[in-house]
Structure 1
Amino acid sequence: MKAIVILSALFVFGINVKAETELLKNADFESSSFSGNWHANDCLMTTYTEDKYHGSKCVKITHRHHDWSGPRQIVAVDGEQWYSAKAYIRLLNMPAGVPYVTIEMMAVLTVNGHNKYKTVGQIHMQQEKFGWTEVGGDFLTPNGTTAATLYVQVHNATINYLQDFSSLQRITANSNWKSEANSRISALRKAPLTVRLASAHSATGISIELQQQKHKFGFGAGVQAAMMTDPNQVPYQNFVYKHFEWAVIVNALKWRLMEWTKGHINFAKPLNAIKVLKEHGVKIRGHNMFWGVDGHSPAWLNGMSPSQYISEMKLHVQEVINHTRGTLEHWDVNNENQHGDYFERHTGDPDITAKMFQWIHQQEPDVKLFINEYNVITNSQCTTATRNQAIQLRNMGIPVSFVGIQGHFHSSDINIDVVKYRLDKVAEAGLKIWITELTVTENDANKKASALSDLLTLFFSHPAVEGVMLWGFWDGAIHHAADKLFEGPNFTPNAAGQVYLDLVEKAWTTHYTHTISPHGNLNTTGFLGDYVLNVKRDGNLLHQEAFSLDSTGKQLTVHLTGDQHVSHVAFG
C-alpha cells in the first residue's frame, strides 16, 4: 500500500515515471537464497516474513558490530554514468536515551582497481516510530569504474533493522527533455482564452489587447530589507518592483539577527521593507522563523533548560506573528533541519520541528508553512531525507503546505536529467514545491546563461513546482559575485540575466493584440495569471477590464452600444 500511495502522488502531478532495468539481484529479498546476490557483512541476515515493505518477505539484520555491518551487493557498472540507489529500512530497536540515528546509503566504487567511497544519501534524524523509510540518492561513477558495492550504514551497531525493496538503476539521458518540458509548459501553465464581440453589427476598427499583469506561478527574488527603504537605493527598489512579483527578505526576519540581545527585537527593519513591497503589489515569503543549524539562533539561549528553550521559542512565534500577521504568504519554519538538530538537542524533543509548524499555524492559520532545505537538487545528500520528512509530517497531521528546495548550483555543469530525477523524488511526498534560493555560481556569463535557461525551463515545466526565487540578482547586493545576473548602476543584464528576462517577461508572459469583427471570436491561449483586457477603436481605448485566467480557461464577450462604446464585458 505504501508504494501505491507514493505512485499516486506522482500521477496526480502528471509526472512520467519511466521504468528502468533493475541492476540488483534479488532486490526485494523475495528469494531466501542469497547465493550470488546479497552478502551478510559482519552481521546475521535472515529471511523475515512477519513484516515487510513490499512483496511477502524482507531480511532481518542482527548481530552487528559496526555502523557498516549489514547486507551488501556487488554490481558491475560503467564509468561516467549516473545511477540511483535506494533501500527501505525499518529500525527494530533504539538504545536507551538515543532519540534518533543517522542512516546512510553507501557505494564503494571500484575505480581502476582502487576503492572509492561515496555517500549516496543520508537521513540524520531517523526515529524508530517512523517505520519503513526509504534511504537513497544518486551518484556519478568516475571514468574507470567497473563495479559498485551497495550497502546501508546505520550509525549505531546495537540497532537491529529490517531491509526490503532495494534498487540500483541507471539514470538515462533524455535527449528530448527540453521539447518535452516545453510541451508540459503549454499543458500546465496555459489555458484557452476566447474573446467575442457582440451587439455591434457595424463596428469597425475594433481591436482587443490581452496584457498579462501577474503570473500564477511565483517568480521572485531575495531582497535586502535595508535597501528597500534606503532613499539612496531607489534604482534597486524600482528594479525589484518592475521585475519580481515575489520577494523574500534574506536576513532581517531571522531570529538571531532580529534579537541579538534578549528582549530588544528589531521589527522596524523587516516591517518597513514588507510595507513598501506590499504597497507595490509584491508578495512576500517569510524566511525564517527558526534555523536548526548551530550558530544561527540567538546566543543568549545557550545555557537555558529545555523548558526555557520551549518557552522562548513559543514567545518568539507569538511576537513575530503579532507583527507580521496578514502580510506574509509563506514561512520557512525550521530552516535546513536536515543539516542541524540544534532545537531537537536543546529541547530534548525529537519532534520539536513538528511542534513549530503547529505553533505558527495556531497563530496564523492562513499562512503557508514550508520545509526549506539544501543539498536536495544540487546533490542527493538530502533528496530522499527531505521527501521523507514531508511524508512524516503529513502522516502526523502537521500543517505542512510546501517543500522549499534551495538550489545553490556551484557550477554551470549541471545534468538536467539528474536534477529532474531529484525533483521527482521529492514530489513523491505529494506536496507542491518551491525553488526558494536559486543561484548558479559561474564566472562565464554565457555558460551561466545556458545553465539558467535549462533550470528555469525544467522548474517551470515540472507539475509539482509552483515558484522560483532567485537568491540575489545584482552584483551590488549579492553574496557571491559569480552568481550575479545584473551588473552596475544601471542593472545591466549579463547573458544570464537576459535569459531570465527573455523567459519570464517575454516567452512566459502573454501579450496579445488582434482586430475583431462583430460576432467574431478570437481564440488563443494565455499563461495563467492576472490580466487586463483593453478594447480599442482605431487605437483609442474604449474600455479596460481586469480578469484572472486559471486552468479552466476564460470566455469574454464584449458588448458594444450603438455608438460603439463598451456597455459591459461578460465572463462565461
Structure 2
Amino acid sequence: MIIDTSLQNASFWGGDGDNNTGAVGTRAVVDVDHELFDKAVRITVNNPTGVFWNGQLQFPITTAVNAGDVVLAHFYMRSIANTYETGSSFVSAFLEDNTTYDKFLNREVSAADEWQEYHLPASITTAQSAGNLALKFGFGGGDRPQTFELAGIELLNYGDYDIALLPATAPTYVGREPDATWREAANTRIEQIRKGDFTITVLDANGETASGASLDVKLQKHAYHFGSVTVGSIINGTSADSATYRETVLDMFNQSGPENDLKWGPWIGEWGNGFNKTSTLTALQWLRDNGLYTRGHVMVWPSKRNLPNLIAEQLPDDPANAPASIKQEVLDHIDDIGSATRNYVYEWDVLNEPYDNHYLMDAFGDSVMVDWFNRARLNLPSHGLFLNDYSILSAGGRNIAHQQHFEDTIAYLVNNNAPITGIGMQSHFDETLTPISAVYDILERYHTAFPNLDIRSTEFDITTDDEALQADYTRDFLTIFFSHPATVGVQLWGFWEGAHWNPKAAMFASDWRAKPAATAWKTLTQQTWDSEFDATTDATGQFSGRGFYGDYGADITIDGVTRHFTFHLENGAASDFTLSFATPE
C-alpha cells in the first residue's frame, strides 16, 4: 500500500464554480453498511463546470515509486443521487504527477445505486518521490448536480510486474450493446441521407436502347470522406515501409492531408530536414494524383507556444505588449501558404484550438479571427474553411465550458460574416468513451445552431490497449457520425504505429498487423456501406437502383462486347445516366 487509506486524511479541493457560484463540490465522511468497509467519502457536486479536474479528492503516495513500477488502484463507488439519463453518477480517477501533470491513468468511472468495484492498473514511467504522485478523483465534469460515494480506496505497488496479470475492470461505453436502441435509427438515417435512386439507360452501338444488356455496377469511391492524415516524408520515401504505407493509404482511405507538414513551423523549415515546402507539395500531389480529397492543417494556431519561432521570439509574455507588426506577419503567412496550396488541397483548418490558444486574440482582439478567414478566402476563393478544436466530442462529451466556447466562437465568426464553411471536431478519445447517443446529440446541437456549416471529425483516434474496445468504438463512432446529415467525413489522426503521435491509438501495428479497429473501419466503409449491382436492362434498356453517393464504375455487355463506363451519383444532382456504346471509347 503506497497511500494513506484514511478517508478523513485525504486531501480535498472543492474546485471553483463558474461565475462566483462557490465550490464545485463538497465532501463528507459517512457511515455505510458493507462487509468490506464501514466508511465512505460522500462527494456532493452542486456546481459542475464541465472540466473533470476542477474539484478533486486526492491521495498522495507515501513512499517513492520507481520508473517501470506497476501499480493498481482499487476502490468502490456508488451513486446516491443524479439526474443523468443513464441513472449513474461518474467521476474521473487519475494518477497524476503533481509537478509535470503527466497522467499515468485517466479513466472516467460510473456507478448506479449499487456498489461497483473497480481495479485500474497502470505503469509508472518516471520515478516518483513520496508526495509527488497522487491518486485523484476529479468530479468537476458534467453539467448537472450529482452525489456519489467512494470507499475502500487503495493504491498498491507491485514493482516490476507484468501488468497483464493484474485484475482490471475493462472499460466500455454506453451504446456498445448489439441491440442498443440507437442502431436502428442510425441505419435508417444512413439509408435515407447517404443513398440516392438512379436510372441507367443503355444504348447500343447504333444509339438504340439495349434491352437484355448485362450490367456489373460497383461503387468505386464514396462521396463521404473516410480518411487519415499522412506523413509527407513517408509518402515520398523509398523504403519497404514507405511502399506499404502508400499501399495502405490507397486501400483504406479516400481522403487525407498532412499531419504536420503544413503547420507554420515546418512549412518555413523550422522542424529540420524532414520538412520542407517541396516535399510537402510532392506528397500532396501524390494524394491528389491518386484521387484523394485533401485538406490542410493549420493556418493559424494562435498561442505563443504553437506559433513558429520566427513569431514567438518577437512576443513578450504579456500579449498587451505584442508588436502590431505581428498582425501583418500572420496575414502574410496566410497569403504564402494559401496561394502555394491552392491547387493541392480542397479545404483548410484556418484556426486551431482557440479555447486555450488565444495569445493573438488577447493581443489584437477577437476581430483578428475574422481577418484570418477573410484573408484565407482571398487566396482560396472556393475552398472549405474550417474552425478546429478539441474536447467537443471526447472525454464523455462533458466538457461544457469548452463546448460553449466553441459555439460562441463559431457564432462570433458567423455573425461577423467570416467565410467559415465548416466545423472541425478533433475526436481524440481515451478509455473515457462518450456514449454514442451523446455524440449524436452534440452533432445535433451544433447543426441546429449553424445549419449551413459542414461538420467533420478531423482527428479521430482511440488510445487504449484494449483492441476489441478500440474496434467496437471505431465501428459505432463511424456509424453515428455517418448517420448525421451535417457531417462530411471522419479523418484519422494517423493510422500506423510507426508514424503516430500516440502509438496505442494506431490501427496498424509497427509490423503492419491490422488491428481489429482497421478491420472494423474497412468492413464498414467497403462492405457494409457498399453498393454493387449485377443486373440486366429491361425492355426499355433501363436499370434502376439505389446506392451510396459517390463514383461508380459500370461494366456493360451487349452481344458479348463489354465496355467500361463511369458515373457520379450525387445528392441533389441529376441521377439519370445514359451510357452509350455509340460513344467512342
Both proteins in one fold, TM over 0.5: yes
Deviation at 1:551, TM superposition (A): 4.0
Are 2:279 and 1:269 aligned? Answer: yes
Q: 1:372 aligns with which of 381, 388, 397?
A: 388
Cα distance in 1, alignment partners of residues 290 and 299 from structure 2: 24
The letter of the residue matching 2:79 is G
Give the 3-state SS of the residue equivalent to 2:563 in structure 1.
strand
Cα distance in 1, alignment partners of residues 417 and 444 from structure 2: 23
Give the 3-state SS of the residue equivalent to 2:407 in structure 1.
helix
User: What's the counterpart of residue 163 of structure 1?
Assistant: none
User: What's the counterpart of residue 139 of structure 2?
Assistant: none
Query: Using a 3 Å threshold, how does the CA distance of structure 1 residues 380 and 256 change in structure 2: closer, same or farther?
Result: farther
Cα distance in 2, alignment partners of residues 270 and 448 from structure 1: 31
Are 2:409 and 1:389 aligned? Answer: yes
The letter of the residue matching 1:380 is R
Check whether the contact 1:380–1:422 (CA below 8 A) recurs between aligned residues.
no
1:10-58 residue CA offsets vs partner (Å, 9 max, x unmatched): xxxxxxxxxxxxxxxxxxxxxxxxxxxxxxxxxxxxxxxxxxxxxxxxx
The letter of the residue matching 2:445 is K
Q: 1:224 aligns with which of 228, 231, 236?
A: 231
Cα distance in 1, alignment partners of residues 341 and 489 from structure 2: 22
Deviation at 1:525, TM superposition (A): 0.7
Q: 1:458 aligns with which of 462, 480, 487?
A: 480
Check whether the contact 2:428–2:460 (CA below 8 A) recurs between aligned residues.
yes
The letter of the residue matching 2:50 is V
User: What's the counterpart of residue 49 of structure 2?
Assistant: 119
Cα distance in 2, alignment partners of residues 307 and 202 from structure 1: 70
Cα distance in 1, alignment partners of residues 481 and 466 from structure 2: 22
Are 2:326 and 1:309 aligned? Answer: yes
User: What's the counterpart of residue 420 of structure 1?
Assistant: 440
Deviation at 1:169, TM superposition (A): 11
Query: Using a 3 Å threshold, how does the CA distance of structure 1 residues 197 and 544 change in structure 2: closer, same or farther?
Result: closer
Q: 2:529 aligns with which of 487, 508, 520?
A: 508
Deviation at 1:218, TM superposition (A): 1.3
Q: 1:468 aligns with which of 490, 514, 533?
A: 490
User: What's the counterpart of residue 466 of structure 2?
Assistant: 444
Q: 2:81 aligns with which of 125, 146, 153?
A: 146
Q: 1:279 aligns with which of 289, 308, 314?
A: 289
Which one is further off, 299-308 or 395-404? 299-308
Check whether the contact 1:387–1:429 (CA below 8 A) recurs between aligned residues.
no
Sequence identity (%): 24
Cα distance in 2, alignment partners of residues 69 and 274 from structure 1: 47
Q: 2:337 aligns with which of 304, 320, 325?
A: 320
Deviation at 1:250, TM superposition (A): 0.4
User: What's the counterpart of residue 208 of structure 1?
Assistant: 215
Query: Using a 3 Å threshold, how does the CA distance of structure 1 residues 425 and 273 change in structure 2: closer, same or farther?
Result: same
The letter of the residue matching 2:243 is V
Deviation at 1:533, TM superposition (A): 2.2
1:464-508 residue CA offsets vs partner (Å, 9 max, x unmatched): 11111011111222122221212354x342211111001011111
1:373-428 residue CA offsets vs partner (Å, 9 max, x unmatched): 00000133222221221122111111011000000011274411222222222222
The letter of the residue matching 1:469 is Q
Deviation at 1:181, TM superposition (A): 0.2
Check whether the contact 2:201–2:541 (CA below 8 A) recurs between aligned residues.
yes
Task: Give the TM-score, by structure 2 length.
Answer: 0.66
Are 2:237 and 1:237 aligned? Answer: no
Q: 1:496 aligns with which of 510, 517, 536?
A: 517
Which one is further off, 495-504 or 374-383? 374-383
Check whether the contact 1:388–1:429 (CA below 8 A) recurs between aligned residues.
no
Deviation at 1:245, TM superposition (A): 1.3
Cα distance in 2, alignment partners of residues 268 and 537 from structure 1: 49
Deviation at 1:248, TM superposition (A): 1.6
Report 1:51-200 matches (<5 A).
108=25, 113-116=42-45, 118-120=48-50, 143-146=78-81, 175-197=180-202
Deviation at 1:194, TM superposition (A): 2.3
1:510-548 residue CA offsets vs partner (Å, 9 max, x unmatched): 222223343264332110112122212477523424333
Give the 3-state SS of the residue equivalent to 1:143 in structure 2.
strand
Report 1:39-58 matches (<5 A).
none
Query: Using a 3 Å threshold, how does the CA distance of structure 1 residues 388 and 169 change in structure 2: closer, same or farther?
Result: farther
Check whether the contact 1:196–1:521 (CA below 8 A) recurs between aligned residues.
yes
The letter of the residue matching 1:303 is Q
Query: Using a 3 Å threshold, how does the CA distance of structure 1 residues 268 and 535 change in structure 2: closer, same or farther?
Result: same
The letter of the residue matching 1:236 is Y
User: What's the counterpart of residue 372 of structure 2?
Assistant: 356
Check whether the contact 2:196–2:569 (CA below 8 A) recurs between aligned residues.
no
Deviation at 1:246, TM superposition (A): 0.9
Aligned length: 426
Deviation at 1:453, TM superposition (A): 0.7
Query: Using a 3 Å threshold, how does the CA distance of structure 1 residues 353 and 536 change in structure 2: closer, same or farther?
Result: same
Check whether the contact 2:209–2:541 (CA below 8 A) recurs between aligned residues.
no
Deviation at 1:69, TM superposition (A): 5.6
Give the 3-state SS of the residue equivalent to 1:352 in structure 2.
helix
Q: 1:535 aligns with which of 544, 553, 556?
A: 556
1:340-384 residue CA offsets vs partner (Å, 9 max, x unmatched): 112123x43232222111111122221211100000001332222
Query: Using a 3 Å threshold, how does the CA distance of structure 1 residues 359 and 121 change in structure 2: closer, same or farther?
Result: farther
User: What's the counterpart of residue 257 of structure 2?
Assistant: 248
Check whether the contact 1:109–1:147 (CA below 8 A) recurs between aligned residues.
no
Give the 3-state SS of the residue equivalent to 2:235 in structure 1.
helix
Deviation at 1:239, TM superposition (A): 1.7
Query: Using a 3 Å threshold, how does the CA distance of structure 1 residues 299 and 197 change in structure 2: closer, same or farther?
Result: closer
Give the 3-state SS of the residue equivalent to 2:530 in structure 1.
coil
Give the 3-state SS of the residue equivalent to 1:333 in structure 2.
strand
Check whether the contact 1:412–1:448 (CA below 8 A) recurs between aligned residues.
no
Deviation at 1:451, TM superposition (A): 0.9
Check whether the contact 2:475–2:521 (CA below 8 A) recurs between aligned residues.
yes
Query: Using a 3 Å threshold, how does the CA distance of structure 1 residues 300 and 553 change in structure 2: closer, same or farther?
Result: closer
Query: Using a 3 Å threshold, how does the CA distance of structure 1 residues 248 and 169 change in structure 2: closer, same or farther?
Result: farther
Query: Using a 3 Å threshold, how does the CA distance of structure 1 residues 439 and 358 change in structure 2: closer, same or farther?
Result: same
The letter of the residue matching 1:549 is E
Check whether the contact 1:110–1:146 (CA below 8 A) recurs between aligned residues.
no
Check whether the contact 1:434–1:467 (CA below 8 A) recurs between aligned residues.
yes
Check whether the contact 1:531–1:549 (CA below 8 A) recurs between aligned residues.
no
Cα distance in 2, alignment partners of residues 67 and 418 from structure 1: 24
Query: Using a 3 Å threshold, how does the CA distance of structure 1 residues 71 and 366 change in structure 2: closer, same or farther?
Result: same
User: What's the counterpart of residue 355 of structure 2?
Assistant: 338
User: What's the counterpart of residue 524 of structure 1?
Assistant: 545
Give the 3-state SS of the residue equivalent to 1:567 in structure 2.
coil
Cα distance in 2, alignment partners of residues 71 and 339 from structure 1: 23
